[in-house]
């Protein structure tokens, strides 16, 4: 019985909480800009509003346009279910492998890029080409931190990695810190935050992620925005739990679950605050500087490999 | 909470990380702050060792080192930065990814079999010693790579920090007289180098040392 | 006692020079008396070392054979430089190049420099030696930027950075050497003698790594290729007496540091390792300047490369060992004296012509007859022509190495020939021919060439007749290598 409850929580945690984190980040940024800002539950209302709106679909689009939002949203749901969020009870051997995670994310990016091209508008093309450039460079930086972690933990399963990392001696902490820095850079890139992309921009020439979804409206737009919020929370959870895996429960009592949920929220909140503060303090980089940054992330993880 | 060995290792790790970040930052003031962190860690180490051996002399040395490296030196630097508007130091010979690549290669070299036998110096802390060897190599690379005179100065001072951490990790913390002499030497060095930076700024107008064209005229 | 006199005199000289208000006559008197006292004290110490083996004041300050020779060289070069600087600074003050403050700065730093060099030779603790060599770096950095031109300041900065980097690496090596001391000495001061006696506990690998660091570190100060890049710039911008001291004394002191570590390393891992290192760097330091000297445009840089090349020859000699070591120590002596002749004469040329470019200098023999002849004699000496001493030492070094490293010796001889040709080309261009109209013939003042004459006399005499006392000390010194 308790296992069913925990499973349910694991399944719905990401979709339910992700708009909240989006709202929190926006609120912190608004505070930095001396505004009151919208309430942190605003994204939920936005999603509800979008679900009740009519859709307009261009006639020049293909089936990908209609099909992609469902695919992307489902991928984020699956990802949310198979990463360690608050417990290590589900050592699901196939889907919890880090390579699977990386390539599921790549699959969703691929379809998103296709969608941008699908409607035939110029802005979608800009967004897609930029996104693919960044995605190609980010992949190395994405895999290598996990590679370092799995070399330290002697396994590629995310749950076993978290188990192993939490019991490592302190002598192995240097590579973890180095790769964490690299992972943060990659997270910023994949979730379209500063310095890679401005999620609040309305200028099409500066968009990367937003440009690809310009043509969407109504419930498909809601799904895509929700999927983006899910992706953000997934990356936050990965960063918090893979590199600082203390607080994941192994038993299934009610108090343990509640405590683990609290710790999870605290950790991801800390990371989200960090992202918000970063967004408020630096400017978006010009596009030609981004490959340098991604390359630096990749090499930092390579350096961490040497130190193991 | 942590054993003494772990604390020493952690300090070595912090020094290593700060040196790598020195390569990545673009502002001079961040460079100086990173150096401050490094010096703080080093003087804390010496202080800890002084408390453990209960040597008053070593404690004086630690306090002296703290004063010189954490307070006086960054003060001189910040004064120069404010006075001459040396805000940014992003001029390097290699761009950032290549810099980090070379730093990674140097780290790999430090951990390779060439330096493996050196670990007998350190009893149990072998990987920490190799970490400080890597820090030394990366500091030398920092000096070579940077064009700005202030960053070269910080590079030399961070090299000195790295060597002290190497000495510490291999168990040579001894000889308070040695540390005293070295710190005094560093103080004089800093004063003289600051005077030089002022001279360069006055006469040549920038703190960018690629203007060595001046030397080629004759 | 004599050691205290040496240190004390220089300290007093520093303080007195610092306190002089106006009137440069006092400077020259202080400098000259200090240098003469140094020389006398050094001769006394030298004598003592020759008879007793080593001169020991206490466990912290002592002089051994090699230290005595280097100390003598430093004192002689110091005397000639101070004497010369009196004359040349007077000329420059008259022309208005520099003012009183600069002169005061010059003398204070000069004495500090000499003090640090002497201290480095007589101290027995490697760390104190390191500190005093660092002090020499710091004091000469200001002296290099003496004339205040932008290029001089940049040369001084380059010198400061490269030498500080090198000395820090040398410090790392020194630390590694003192690794084994801490368990056994319990915070006492480490001395060379102690290291030599307790060398059996050294791990050979660590000794090798430590020696490599020490070699590269102090080798930056000596100026082996590829750590030589500061040398041409610093030599061409600094005032001539300082350059003389840098080339004639500091080079030797830094070499002394390497050699002292070499003794310890040889006992730990056998002489082959350091020998190979010395031979490799020595050969490179001979070949590279040979090519560069051919195309030089500035005569002070030319002489700087010549210094690098001679440091290489000395390294070869010590690397070969045996007779080579004896010849290398003798070479040290001759080279310092001959190089001082060359530099001081070139200082005269600079005073007269106002430029360091070779193409601007013609007809020196007509305008500065005495300096010209002295320079020519120095040139013949330094390139190894018989019958002067350097020919003999270079020949002996090559001979000692020809059995085991014939290729190395062949390359070295070829490079030496190339150097001779290159140098000759420049000397002919400078010395013969007609001078320009504006340059009036005549020497500056007596102080600028009398010291050079004395040096020449010394070298000529020493080339033919080696006093027994000198011979015995050099032999005993070279026995260690």
* B150, part of any domain: yes
In sequence order, what are the residues at sequence separation of 6 or more whose Cβ sits closer than 8 angstroms to the Cβ of residue C29? none
Chain-chain contact of C128 with B149 (C-beta, under 8 angstroms): no
Residue with tokens 């539950």: A41
Retrieve residue C285's tokens. Answer: 């330091």
* B187, part of any domain: yes
Q: What angle do CA C462, C465, C468 make, to 5 degrees?
A: 100
For residue A93, what are the β-bridge partners?
none
Is residue C143 within 8 A of residue C49, CB to CB? The reply is no
What's the pLDDT band for B91 if we cut at 50, 70, 90?
low
- What distance lies between CA B156 and its chain's CA centroid? 6
Give the mean model confidence (pLDDT) for residues B57-67. Answer: 78
Chain-chain contact of C206 with B175 (C-beta, under 8 angstroms): no
Retrieve residue C367's tokens. Answer: 């305008």
Q: How far apart are CA C252 and CA C117, in angstroms?
A: 10
pLDDT top residue among C337 and B121: C337
Chain-chain contact of B131 with A170 (C-beta, under 8 angstroms): no
Q: How far apart are CA A141 and CA A181, in angstroms?
A: 11
Closest CA to B191 of C139, A87, A274: C139
The torsion angle over the Cα atoms of residues C443, C444, C450 and C456, rounded to 10 degrees, is -50
Chain-chain contact of C161 with B178 (C-beta, under 8 angstroms): no
Domain boundaries of chain C, sorted by first residue: 270-481
* Average pLDDT for chain A: 87
**CB C56: neighbour CB atoms within 10 A?**
17
The predicted pLDDT at position B212 comes to 53
Chain-chain contact of B152 with C161 (C-beta, under 8 angstroms): yes
Q: Evaluate if residue B86 carries a pLDDT over 90.
A: no
Name the percent of chain C in helix, strand, coil, to the closest 5.
Answer: 80, 0, 20
Interface residue A63 vs chain B (CB under 8 A): no
In sequence order, what are the residues at sequence separation of 6 or more whose Cβ sits closer than 8 angstroms to the Cβ of residue C211? C173, C261, C262, C265, C273, C274, C277
Interface residue A295 vs chain B (CB under 8 A): yes
Q: How many CB pairs under 8 A join A and B?
A: 53
For chain B, what is the domain count? 1
Q: How far apart are CA C242 and CA C108, in angstroms?
A: 12
* B218, part of any domain: no
Q: How far apart are CA C279 and CA C317, in angstroms?
A: 8
Residue B121 DSSP label = G
Is residue B162 within 8 A of residue C172, CB to CB? The reply is no
Name the percent of chain A in helix, strand, coil, to the closest 5.
Answer: 75, 0, 25
Name the closest residue on chain C to residue B58, using Cα atoms: C187
Helix C369-382, helix C389-402: angle, nearest 10: 10
Set of chain A residues whose Cβ sits within 8 Å of the Cβ of B17 = 174, 177-178
Name the closest residue on chain B to residue C175, using Cα atoms: B167
Name which of C125, C183, C187 to mutate to probe chain B: the one with the most chain B Cβ atoms within 10 A of its Cβ. C187
Interface residue A300 vs chain B (CB under 8 A): yes
Highest mean pLDDT: which of B115-124, C135-144, C430-439?
C135-144
Give residue A295's domain range. 2-307
**CB-closest option in B13, B100, B104 to A306:** B104
Q: How far apart are CA B67 and CA B43, in angstroms?
A: 9
Cα C383 to Cα C313, C347, C416: the distances in Å are 12, 19, 8
Q: Where do the H-state alpha helices sit in C240-322?
A: 240-245, 251-269, 271-294, 299-320
pLDDT, tens digit (0-9, with 9 covering 90-100), for A75-130: 999 888 888 887 776 666 667 788 888 999 999 999 999 998 988 888 888 889 99
Retrieve residue C24's tokens. Answer: 């440069």
What's the pLDDT band for C187 if we cut at 50, 70, 90?
very low
For chain A, what is the domain count? 1
Give residue B141's domain range. 4-207
Q: What is the DSSP string of A90-128?
A: ---TTTTBHHHHHHHHHHHHHHHHHHHHHT--HHHHHHH
Examine chains A and C and say if they touch (3+ CB pairs below 8 A).
Answer: no
- What distance lies between CA B166 and its chain's CA centroid? 12
Percent of chain C topping pLDDT 70: 90
Q: How far apart are CA C467 and CA C469, in angstroms?
A: 5
Helix C389-402, helix C299-320: angle, nearest 10: 40
Is residue A172 within 8 A of residue A164, CB to CB? The reply is no
Closest CA to C318 of C310, C326, C306: C326
Closest CA to A235 of A195, A199, A190: A190
Q: How far apart are CA A138 and CA A196, in angstroms?
A: 11
- Burial code (b: 16+ CB inside 10 Å, e: under 16) for C80-114 equals bbbbbbbbbbbbbeeeeebeeebbbbbbbbbbbbb
Q: Is C99 helix (H, G, I), strand (E, B) or coil?
A: coil
Cα A139 to Cα A112, A145, A290, A295, C116: the distances in Å are 16, 11, 14, 10, 58
pLDDT, tens digit (0-9, with 9 covering 90-100), for B167-215: 777 766 555 666 666 777 777 777 777 777 777 777 665 555 555 555 5
Nearest CA to CA, how far is A286 from chain B (Å)?
15
Nearest CA to CA, how far is B125 from chain C (Å)?
16
Q: Which helix (H) or strand (E) is A129 found in, with range?
A: helix A122-153
Residue with tokens 């929370």: A233
Interface of A with B in 158-187 (CB under 8 A): 169-171, 173-174, 177-178
pLDDT, tens digit (0-9, with 9 covering 90-100), for C402-426: 888 888 888 888 888 888 888 888 8
Q: What are phi and psi of C19, to 5 degrees?
A: -90, -10
* B16, part of any domain: yes
Residue C247 DSSP label = I
* Average pLDDT for chain C: 81
Name the closest residue on chain B to residue C157, using Cα atoms: B196
**CB B33: neighbour CB atoms within 10 A?**
17
Q: How far apart are CA C409 and CA B169, in angstroms?
A: 44
**CB-closest option in A171, A177, A306 to B9:** A171
Set of chain B residues whose Cβ sits within 8 Å of the Cβ of C158 = 209, 212, 215
Residue with tokens 């490999």: A305
Q: How, if at all, do strands C62-63 and C55-56 pair?
A: antiparallel
What's the pLDDT band for C11 if we cut at 50, 70, 90?
confident
pLDDT, tens digit (0-9, with 9 covering 90-100), for C136-186: 888 888 888 888 777 888 888 888 889 988 988 888 888 777 765 555 554
The predicted pLDDT at position C9 comes to 75
* B216, part of any domain: no
| Sign of the four-CA dihedral C472, C475, C479, C481 | positive
This complex has an ipTM of: 0.86
């Amino acid at each position: 019985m308790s296992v069913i409850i925990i499973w349910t929580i694991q399944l719905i945690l990401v979709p339910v909480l992700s708009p909240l984190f989006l709202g929190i980040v926006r609120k912190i940024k608004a505070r930095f800009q001396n505004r009151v800002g919208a309430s942190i539950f605003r994204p939920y209302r936005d999603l509800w509003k979008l679900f009740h709106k009519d859709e307009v679909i261009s006639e020049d689009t293909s089936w990908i346009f209609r099909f992609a939002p469902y695919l992307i949203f489902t991928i984020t749901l699956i990802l949310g279910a198979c990463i360690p969020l608050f417990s290590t009870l589900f050592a699901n051997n196939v889907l919890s492998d880090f390579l699977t995670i990386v390539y599921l994310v790549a699959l969703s990016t691929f379809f998103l890029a296709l969608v941008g091209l699908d409607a035939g508008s110029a802005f979608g093309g800009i967004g897609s080409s930029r996104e693919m450039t960044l995605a190609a460079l980010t992949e190395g930086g994405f895999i290598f931190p996990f590679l370092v972690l799995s070399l330290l933990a002697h396994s590629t399963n995310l749950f076993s990695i978290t188990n192993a990392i939490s019991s490592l001696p302190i002598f192995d902490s240097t590579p973890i810190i180095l790769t964490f820095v690299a992972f943060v850079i990659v997270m910023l890139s994949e979730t379209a935050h500063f310095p890679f992309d401005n999620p609040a921009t309305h200028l099409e020439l500066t968009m990367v992620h937003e440009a690809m979804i310009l043509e969407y409206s109504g419930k498909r737009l809601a799904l895509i925005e929700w999927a983006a919020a899910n992706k953000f929370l997934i990356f936050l959870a990965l960063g918090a739990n893979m590199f600082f895996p203390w607080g994941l429960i192994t038993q299934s009592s009610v108090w343990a679950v509640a405590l683990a949920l609290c710790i999870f929220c605290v950790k991801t909140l800390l990371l989200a605050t960090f992202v918000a503060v970063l967004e408020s303090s630096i400017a978006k980089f010009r596009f030609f500087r981004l490959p340098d940054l991604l390359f630096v992330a990749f090499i930092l993880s390579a350096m961490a490999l040497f130190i193991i | 909470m942590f054993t003494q060995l772990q604390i020493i290792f952690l300090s070595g790790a912090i020094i290593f990380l700060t040196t790598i970040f020195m390569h990545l930052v673009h502002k001079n003031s961040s460079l100086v702050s990173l150096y401050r962190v490094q010096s703080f860690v080093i003087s804390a180490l010496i202080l800890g060792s002084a408390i453990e051996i209960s040597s008053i002399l070593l404690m004086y040395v630690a306090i002296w080192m703290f004063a010189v490296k954490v307070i006086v030196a960054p003060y001189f630097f910040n004064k120069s930065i404010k006075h001459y508007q040396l805000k940014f130091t992003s001029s390097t010979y290699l761009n950032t990814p290549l810099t980090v690549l070379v730093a990674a290669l140097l780290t790999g070299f430090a951990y390779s079999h060439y330096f493996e036998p050196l670990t007998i110096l350190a009893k149990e802390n072998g990987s920490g010693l190799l970490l400080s060897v890597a820090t030394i190599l990366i500091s030398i690379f920092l000096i070579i790579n940077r064009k700005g005179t202030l960053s070269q100065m910080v590079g030399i001072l961070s090299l000195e920090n790295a060597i002290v951490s190497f000495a510490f990790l291999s168990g040579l913390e001894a000889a308070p007289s040695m540390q005293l002499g070295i710190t005094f030497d560093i103080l004089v060095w800093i004063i003289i180098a600051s005077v030089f930076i002022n001279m360069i700024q006055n006469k040549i107008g920038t703190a960018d040392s690629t203007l060595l064209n001046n030397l080629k005229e004759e | 006692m004599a050691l205290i006199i040496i240190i004390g005199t220089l300290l007093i000289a520093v303080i007195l020079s610092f306190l002089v208000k106006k009137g440069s006559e006092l400077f020259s008197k202080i400098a000259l008396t200090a240098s003469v006292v140094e020389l006398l004290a050094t001769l006394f110490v030298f004598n003592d070392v020759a008879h007793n083996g080593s001169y020991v004041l206490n466990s912290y300050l002592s002089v051994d054979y090699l230290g005595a020779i280097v100390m003598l060289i430093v004192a002689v070069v110091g005397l000639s430089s101070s004497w010369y600087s009196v004359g040349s600074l007077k000329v420059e003050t008259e022309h208005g190049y520099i003012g009183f403050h600069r002169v005061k700065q010059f003398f204070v730093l000069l004495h500090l420099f000499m003090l640090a060099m002497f201290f480095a030779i007589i101290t027995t603790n490697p760390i104190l030696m390191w500190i005093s060599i660092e002090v020499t770096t710091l004091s000469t950095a200001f002296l290099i930027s003496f004339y205040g031109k932008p290029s001089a300041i940049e040369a001084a900065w380059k010198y400061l950075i490269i030498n500080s980097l090198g000395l820090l690496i040398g410090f790392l090596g020194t630390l590694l050497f003192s690794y084994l001391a801490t368990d056994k000495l319990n915070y006492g001061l480490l001395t060379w003698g102690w290291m030599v006696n307790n060398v059996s506990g050294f791990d050979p690998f660590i000794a090798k790594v430590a020696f490599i660091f020490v070699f590269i570190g102090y080798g930056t100060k000596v100026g082996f290729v590829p750590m030589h890049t500061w040398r041409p710039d610093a030599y061409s911008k600094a005032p001539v007496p300082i350059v003389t001291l840098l080339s004639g004394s500091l080079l030797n002191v830094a070499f002394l540091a390497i050699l002292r570590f070499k003794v310890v390393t040889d006992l730990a891992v056998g002489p082959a390792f350091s020998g190979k290192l010395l031979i490799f760097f020595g050969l490179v330091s001979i070949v590279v300047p040979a090519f560069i000297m051919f195309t030089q445009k500035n005569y002070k840089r030319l002489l700087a490369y010549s210094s690098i090349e001679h440091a290489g020859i000395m390294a070869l000699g010590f690397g070969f060992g045996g007779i080579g070591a004896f010849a290398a120590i003798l070479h040290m002596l001759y080279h310092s004296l001959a190089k001082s002749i060359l530099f001081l004469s070139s200082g005269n040329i600079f005073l007269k012509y106002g430029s360091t470019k070779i193409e601007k200098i013609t007809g020196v023999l007509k305008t500065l007859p005495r300096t010209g002849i002295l320079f020519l004699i120095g040139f013949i000496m330094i390139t190894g022509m018989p019958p002067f001493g350097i020919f003999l030492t270079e020949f002996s070094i090559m001979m000692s190495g020809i059995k085991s490293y014939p290729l190395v010796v062949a390359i070295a001889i070829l490079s030496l020939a190339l150097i001779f040709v290159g140098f000759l080309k420049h000397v002919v261009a400078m010395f013969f021919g007609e001078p320009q109209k504006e340059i009036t013939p005549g020497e500056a003042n007596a102080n600028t060439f009398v010291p050079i004459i004395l040096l020449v006399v010394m070298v000529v005499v020493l080339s033919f007749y080696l006093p027994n006392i000198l011979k015995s000390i050099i032999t005993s010194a070279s026995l260690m290598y």
